A and B are shown apart, each in its own frame.
Chain A
Amino acid sequence: MSDKTEVNLSGVKESKGVWLVKVPKYLSQQWDKATEKGEVGKITIGKKQGKTEVRFSLNAELCALGAVGEKDGSLQVPRDHPFTMHTVGGQTMAVFSQSDTDGISLEGTVVHRAECRPVVNDNYMKLKKLQIKESAKPQRLSQQLERAVTTVFKPVANHDFNVDYEKKKKSEGKMVRAERQVVLDMLFSAFEKHQYYNIKDLVDITRQPVTYLKEIMREIGTYNSKGAHKSTWELKPEYRHYQSAEEEEEMETT
């Protein structure tokens, strides 16, 4: 994404102060249901006997704990949420935003921290009870079945895929020895792509019987029994002329 993006420091320059508010999950869920305009509620900031009081009250239509529009009368999300405000203390907290178009920018510094708490009433308690029940449900469930499931595995004389495999084998037929030169050509072109091959892979590629192929390989190649590329065949040095990748690139550019 962004490599070394210059951070837009306009936010801090203006000393924009923001509030960091911790909001309960259910409330944020309700907020997600808000309309396009995005209005979710109102904040009232008041001074009551010298103390600053902040309250948030949720919009009426968002109080329903169901889909919007559906008046589910059973449960209502509480409406009033007083904020508990804290100062930031010594800690500096800044807010930076990341966007695909504009890059990274510093939006501002946090001046107050707040927690959004609902007013505790019966309604809230019911809501909480519901939530607890939900979360207490185990993710996995063992369930006893009355009848055995008979739809999945049936005994079969020969499995489908097995049948197909045998048919394929039959159709391909036995591998016939091709001309030596032809096989050599195939091998060389294969070794151009990769350096090390397993004998099985070579058989696959060339469609030649193993003994014949081994014979040819013994002629032009060596077998690695140890080392990094174990049990693989590779061409003898005189037959190969690999170039390293860089050299190839250079050759291409020049």
Chain B
Amino acid sequence: MTSLGSSSSSTTEYIVRVPKNTSKKYNIMAFNAGDRVSCSTWTQARMERDMSARRIYGEEETPEGAAGSEFGKKQREEARRKKFGIVTREFKAEDQPWILKVNGKAGKRFKGLKKGGVTENASYYIFTQCPDGAFEAFPVHGWYNFTPQAKHRTLTAEEAEEEWGRRNKVVNHFSIMLQRRLREQERGEDEEDEGEKSGKKKKKGGGARGGDLRIHDLEDELEMSSDDSDSSMGEDGESKTKAKKDTGKGKAKKKKRKSNESEALEDSDDGDYEGLEVDYMSDESSSDEEPEKGKPSKGEDLPKGIDEASESEEESEEEKQNDEEAKEEEEEEEGKKTPVQMEKKKKKDSSGESDSSDDSDIEGETASALFMKKRTPPKRGGGRGSAGSSRTGSRPGTPSIDSASTSNTLRAAASKLEQGKRQTQGPATDSPAAKRLKMETSSQSPVPSGKSTPQPPSGKSTPSSSDVQLTEEAVRRYLIRKPMTTKDLLKKFQTKRTGLSSEQTVNVLAQILKRLNPERKNVNDKMHFYLTE
């Protein structure tokens, strides 16, 4: 060590050595400035390689030898890889990240990832000063960037995305992780109760979130829960996206239902479709509409039917019958080709395009009788509206192939029921074509119906020109199915549809009831009639 004395500068010289034979490999452990890591505070540290990537590389699960193994499997696999040019990167233990644990279990954890390209163009050396004053330079073998690992719980990617979408609404950010923790607790507890709990929690969550509009969603959800399949609530009630979907669906359904109900309730605007211009080519469009609308409401109806088995069935069926009858009546009155639309209403599962109302009669009613479960949505007033507008004036007489086929298939059943249920005008003929023609003619001109038809034992054919008749048979049917009050019965045979005045209806109904002599039962302080077959 020589020192040169100089007035303004003082230099000291040191020898630099680069030791040759060290077995030690020097590496840099770099921390982020913001983490404020101070190595002097460490009392204890452990470091090991993170070998978790090894499984990705060495995934040979097939047992070697004996059971389950194939002869020459390895070679075949290798050959296959070579053929396809699959190059798997070797798992190099040297390049794996480090895991550094400081101050034991409760202390910090760091993950050190190797930085690439450090030794490519320039070499780094560590200059340390030895006790003898000389410098020793060691080459740096690798550079690892150490980052602290979070011990607290974090959101997953999906959850984070979700929260991001709600960032404008959520005020209380602390609740986010709280909810998640609570959710995780439940998940561990009981799978079945999950749905309920999550429902409750959501409510809580909904309340906790300031300004969050969840409450309304939840209400909808709760309403819908009885209607929707339970799985939608139970399965993953936790994930809000699912909830959102549900609410979306629920809302849509609700709307649909509302619209359906409203449209069904609002009585047909008979004269609405009179002056409308119609495309002759519009068949497809309406038929397209129909199935679509059919499907969602069908979906809606089916679970409903399952949940509240008999009651709803009966009700809806009766409603449906009413609708049928209503439509049939309409046709007569309007003299339009609304048979088509009625047809469509009736035969949603089959085609949407049949013309003859005659067939529709039988088929519809057979359908209703036979296929009880197939709830062709009677509430789909919307479909009717659009169909009606497009249908009126559409080709009257062309028998569509579909109707023929369906009529053929149902003819056996139809013929049986024909006697009992035949309320149509025109003579009973077997050939569909003839039937249809007859219907056409009859529909074109409001013809007094039904009397000429070989009426069944029911006998009481009312002098109505509609297809809905206040017959004993009809009343019997209703009463067999469900106990009803007189009021209900009257509702079924609405004056508009039967063509009778209210007085007449009452009289006829009274006579029928006398004849049937149904049994009485008091339900809710009201006298109900019913029949047992």
Q: Give me the interface of A with B, judged by CB distance under 8 Å.
A: 1-7, 9, 12-13, 15-16, 18-25, 28, 31, 34, 36-49, 53, 56, 89-102, 104, 106-110, 114, 190, 192-198, 201, 229, 232, 242-245, 248
How many angstroms from the CA of A194 to the CA of B65 in the assembled complex?
A: 5
Task: Contacts A18-B128, A25-B122, A201-B72 given; indicate if A193 touches B66 (C-beta within 8 A).
Answer: yes
Task: Indicate whether B252 reaches chain A with its CB closer than 8 angstroms.
Answer: no
Bound form: Cα–Cα A42–B124 in Å? 18
Complex CA distance for A20 and B140, rounded to whole angstroms:
9
A-contacting residues, B121-146, CB 8 Å? 121-128, 135, 137, 139-141
Residues of chain A within 8 A (CB-CB) of B32 are 91
Given contacts A98-B24, A196-B68, 17 further A-B contacts (CB under 8 A): A4-B47, A16-B128, A21-B126, A21-B127, A22-B123, A39-B17, A47-B11, A90-B33, A92-B38, A93-B28, A98-B141, A99-B23, A99-B25, A195-B70, A232-B70, A243-B66, A243-B67
The contact sample of 14 A-B pairs, CB cut-off 8 A, is: A4-B47, A18-B127, A36-B20, A44-B12, A46-B12, A47-B11, A92-B30, A93-B30, A94-B39, A95-B27, A97-B25, A104-B47, A106-B39, A107-B26
B28 & A95 in contact (Cβ 8 Å cutoff): yes
Considering only CB atoms, which chain B residue lies closest to A24 in the complex?
A: B122
Residues of B contacting A36 with CB < 8 Å? 20
User: Inside 8 A of A37's CB, which chain B residues have their CB?
Assistant: 17
Contact A1 B49 (CB under 8 A): yes
Report whether B124 and A21 are in contact in the complex, using a CB–CB cutoff of 8 Å: yes
Whether A196 touches B39, Cβ cut-off 8 Å, given contacts A23-B125, A91-B30, A91-B33, is no
Neighbour of B37 across the interface among A48, A92, A114, CB < 8 A? A92
* Contacting residues of chain B (46-83) with chain A, CB-CB under 8 angstroms: 46-49, 63, 65-72
Which residues from chain A contact B48 at a C-beta distance below 8 Å? 2-5
Closest B residue to A192 using CB positions? B66
**Cβ contact of A5, chosen from B30, B47, B71, B122, cutoff 8 A:** B47
Residue from A21, A31, A46, A196 in contact with B70 in the complex, judged by beta carbons closer than 8 Å = A196
- If A21-B137, A48-B9 touch, whether A34 touches B24 (CB-CB below 8 Å) is no
> Is the beta-carbon distance between A195 and B25 smaller than 8 angstroms?
no
A31 CB to nearest chain B CB (Å): 5
A110 neighbours in B (Cβ, 8 Å):
28
Query: A39 and B23: CB pair below 8 A?
Result: no
A245 x B39 contact (CB < 8 A):
no
Is B154 engaged at the interface, CB distance under 8 Å to the other chain?
no
A61 to B373, CA, bound (A): 101
Q: Which of A95, A97, A194 contacts B71 (CB 8 A)?
A: A194
Closest to A51 in B: B9
Of B11, B24, B66, B100, which one neighbours A102 at CB under 8 angstroms?
Answer: B24
CB distance B46 to A38 under 8 Å?
no
Is B522 an interface position by the 8 A CB rule?
no
B15 — which chain A residues lie within 8 A by C-beta?
39, 41-43
Asked whether, in the complex, the Cβ of A93 is within 8 Å of the Cβ of B31, the reply is yes
Q: How many Å lie between the Cα of A42 and that of B26 in the bound state?
A: 22
Question: Of B14, B42, B128, which contacts A9 at CB under 8 A?
Answer: B42
- Asked whether, in the complex, the Cβ of B135 is within 8 Å of the Cβ of A49, the reply is no
Q: How far is the CB of A203 from chain B (nearest CB, A)?
A: 12
Q: What does DSSP make chain B's interface, helix, strand, loop or mixed? A: strand
The interface residues of chain B lying within 8 Å CB-to-CB of A96 are 26-27, 29, 47
Q: How far is the CA of A6 from the CA of B43 in the complex (A)?
A: 11
Closest to B13 in A: A44
B16 within 8 A of A: yes
Is B25 in contact with A7, judged by CB distance below 8 angstroms? no
Closest to B100 in A: A7
Bound CA span A23–B24, Å = 20
Minimum C-beta distance from B133 to chain A (A): 10
Contacts of B63 in A (CB 8 A): 245
**Bound form: Cα–Cα A39–B122 in Å:** 20
Which residues on the B side are within 8 Å of A42 (C-beta)?
13-16
Task: Given A7-B46, A90-B34, decide whether A46 and B10 contact each other with a Cβ distance below 8 A.
Answer: yes
Contact B25 A45 (CB under 8 A): no
Complex Cα–Cα for A89 and B31 (A) = 12
In contact, B8 and A48 (Cβ under 8 angstroms)? yes
A43:B23 contact, CB within 8 angstroms: no
In this complex, the member of B27, B40, B49, B137 whose beta carbon has the largest number of chain A beta carbons within 10 angstroms is: B137
User: CB of B213 within 8 A of chain A?
Assistant: no
CB distance from A61 to the nearest CB of B (A): 14
Distance in Å from the Cβ of A94 to the closest Cβ of chain B? Answer: 4
Min CB gap B33→A, angstroms = 3
The 9 closest A-B pairs by CB, nearest first: A46-B11, A90-B33, A242-B67, A19-B127, A7-B45, A196-B70, A28-B123, A12-B39, A99-B24
Q: Judge whether A20 and B28 touch: CB under 8 Å.
A: yes
B8–A198 touching, CB < 8 Å: no
Asked if B93 is an interface residue, CB under 8 A from chain A, the answer is yes
In the assembled complex, the Cα of A196 lies from the Cα of B124 at a distance in Å of: 56
**Docked complex Cα distance between A103 and B71 (Å):** 43
B19 within 8 A of partner (CB): yes
* Central interface residue in B32, B71, B139, by most chain A CB within 10 Å: B71
Residues of the B chain whose Cβ atoms lie less than 8 Å from the Cβ of A194 = 65-66, 69-71
User: What's the Cα separation between A190 and B70 when bound, in Å?
Assistant: 11
| Residues of chain A lying within 8 A (CB to CB) of residue B12 | 44-46
Judge whether B40 and A20 touch: CB under 8 Å: no
Asked if A106 and B45 sit within 8 Å, CB to CB, the answer is: yes
B-chain residues with CB within 8 Å of residue A108 when the two chains form the complex: 128
From 87 to 106 in chain B, residues with beta carbon under 8 angstroms from any chain A beta carbon are 93, 100
CA distance in complex: A47, B32 (Å): 32
Given contacts A5-B47, A43-B135, A193-B66, contact A38 B93 (CB under 8 A): no
Interchain CA distance A232-B123 in the complex, whole Å? 56
A18 to B125, CA, bound (A): 10
Are A93 and B29 within 8 A (Cβ)?
Answer: yes
Any chain A CB within 8 A of the CB of B18?
yes
- Shortest CB-to-CB span from A163 to chain B, Å, is 25
Which residues of chain B from 401 to 443 have a CB within 8 Å of any chain A CB? none
A37 to B17, CA, bound (A): 8
Verify A56–B16 contact, CB threshold 8 A. yes
Distance A181 CA – B480 CA, assembled complex (angstroms): 78
* Option from B8, B40, B124 in Cβ contact (under 8 Å) with A15: B40
